[in-house]
Structure 1
Amino acid sequence: MVEIGYNHRHGRSFCIDRPDGTDNWLMLIVKTPVHFRIDGREIRTTSHSFIIYRPNTPQYYYPASNEYFDDWMHFYPDEDEQRMMSELNIPLDRPVEIGDITEMSSMIRSMCFEHYSGNQYRTNSIDLYFRLLMFKISEKLRKKEAFPNRSEGIYSEKLLWIRKSIYRWPSRDYSIDDMAKELSLSRSRFQHLYTETFGVSVNRDVITSRLNKAAELLKTTDLSVKDVGINVGYGNTSYFVKAFGNFYGLTPLQYRQAEMK
């Protein structure tokens, strides 16, 4: 590690122009829109992007808005770290829009703290953070490939977490207003983005997760229909029985009896 910086702010006139690059590697985590010049071609990236420059690669970039924020790191990866980046298919010398850089930026913050601290094992800690950072970048790139048509990628990981939560904890009271607030979106925009991302509405996912769990409880436990309904978030038994029948074509008791045959 040579130098590292977290959440640095620059004005509109900021511009980096290094025709011969640097003698070390440079990683930028970009938090605002930026113009890059790569092989003579202008590329404008959105916020939440990153680039890793190899030594002696020309570096030219400047803000695409009134302010520019980034995290940065000049470093010398050893052979094992370079091999790891290659095996993880980490892109080099070109900007990549990654959707959500929150975790990555948090790791840079921790590395920055270690770098300027007097901690005995700061070098070891930084090395571990660097490896974790590369793994996280690879994970995010894979998720981006899995949803290539997804717009507004900045929300992708939070949407994935919300959907996983719905299926992991079906009994919770899922409020659309609360979920939208978590992503700083309006209610209608959240619902549209959720459906656009997963091909199903958030309400449908909530119902599916609850009734799937109800079916599992009916098969594997002796809980009464009322208690099964309560366990999956239905306080009204009549409403639960109706919802279950619409979904499975059988009442909860009929479903249990059919599964026991």
Structure 2
Amino acid sequence: MRMDELGYHHRHGLDFNIERPQGAGDWLLLLIKTPAIFQIEGEEIHATAGSYILYTSEYPQFYRTDPKHGEYIDDWMHFGPDEQEQALIKHYEIPLNKPVCLGDITGLSMLMRTMCHEFYSAHTHRVDTVNAYFHILLNKLHEQLESLAPVSVFSESNYGERLMWIRECIFRRQGYTWNIDDMAADLSLSRSRFQHLYSETFGTSVTQDIITSRIQFATELLKNPEIPIEKVAEMCGYASASYFIRQFKEQTGSTPSQFRKKI
């Protein structure tokens, strides 16, 4: 797949108006977060929030802000699928060149956000990672089209996006000393309500995610024999090396020293 450009949660004013009579020259996926007006084969279609449209490269594109609803917000992706990906889109019978209402696009939007982060990063494997996420996006879009049921219990205006951001931070900042009360306060929730929503959203507790992120980071650090185990513990956010060793063994079945010998 060739990825050209990505955009997440872009806001467009009342004067936003796209007119591409010959298409964009590449494929375009839009996740539509506010009502918008599309023109398809001469017919004006009012797309609702929670819809998507997948344009092929040469299909005419005419869409604009719906002035009755103010600004237009979307996620977008310009890309060129290869033959296998086009075959997969056809196999999944994903409707093309017309807006389709899914109801809740939060899960798809979260994937788009992650793809944006990778695409514009300096990560060594960013291209392969974006391609992998694209296939996941197609799978999830197909699943949702099959059931036309929400992929998430949260709407865009609720807590889903902010919970996802917290989770991303947990897995990026493994050495940070996380405080659940502070996380809950950031969302104006009680501690118990925050923990319940987090578990309901991701199928695991926030505490377990913190542990998982630290242990994953530790396994990478332990591959370098020059980093003492005490330093690994510190870099992973543990105040006590003994507690790190105990928790590492609980999660992996080996002590850090045993793990290091194995690799």
TM-score normalised according to structure 2 size: 0.55
1:16 to 15, 18, 43: 18
Q: Distance in 1 between matches of 2:90 and 2:22?
A: 23
1:28 to 24, 27, 30: 30
User: Is 2:64 aligned against 1:69?
Assistant: no
1:86 to 76, 85, 90: 90
Q: 1:121 to 1:32 in 2, by over 3 A?
A: same
Q: Distance in 1 between matches of 2:63 and 2:24?
A: 14
Counterpart position of 2:161: none
Counterpart position of 1:158: 153
Q: Distance in 1 between matches of 2:100 and 2:4?
A: 23
User: Is 2:110 aligned against 1:115?
Assistant: no
User: Is 2:50 aligned against 1:48?
Assistant: yes
Counterpart position of 1:212: none
Q: Distance in 1 between matches of 2:7 and 2:91?
A: 27
How big is the alpha-carbon RMSD for the aligned residues of Structure 1 and Structure 2? 1.7
1:156 deviates by 7.9
> Across the two proteins, how many residue pairs are aligned to each other?
152
Secondary structure (helix, strand or coil) at the match of 2:76 reads strand
Secondary structure (helix, strand or coil) at the match of 2:62 reads strand
Counterpart position of 1:137: 141
Which has more radius of gyration?
A: 1
1:134-182, CA deviations, whole angstroms, 9 ceiling, x for partnerless residues? Answer: 01011111112xxxxxxxx7x68539xxxxxxxxxxxxxxxxxx9xxx8
Counterpart position of 1:98: 102
Q: Distance in 2 between matches of 1:128 and 1:18?
A: 29
TM-score normalised according to structure 1 size: 0.56
Contact 1:99/1:156, CA 8 A, preserved across alignment = no
Secondary structure (helix, strand or coil) at the match of 1:158 reads coil
Counterpart position of 1:192: none
Contact 2:106/2:151, CA 8 A, preserved across alignment = no
Aligned residues with identical type, % of pairs: 44
Counterpart position of 1:59: 61
- Moved beyond 6 Å, runs of 4+: none
1:223-261, CA deviations, whole angstroms, 9 ceiling, x for partnerless residues? Answer: xxxxxxxxxxxxxxxxxxxxxxxxxxxxxxxxxxxxxxx
Return the letter of the residue paired with 1:46: T
Alignment of 1:136-215 (within 5 A): 136-144=140-148, 158=153
List runs of 5+ in structure 2 lacking aligned partners. 155-192, 198-263
Counterpart position of 1:39: 41
Secondary structure (helix, strand or coil) at the match of 1:20 reads coil
Counterpart position of 2:223: none
Contact 1:5/1:112, CA 8 A, preserved across alignment = yes
Contact 2:29/2:55, CA 8 A, preserved across alignment = yes
Counterpart position of 2:231: none
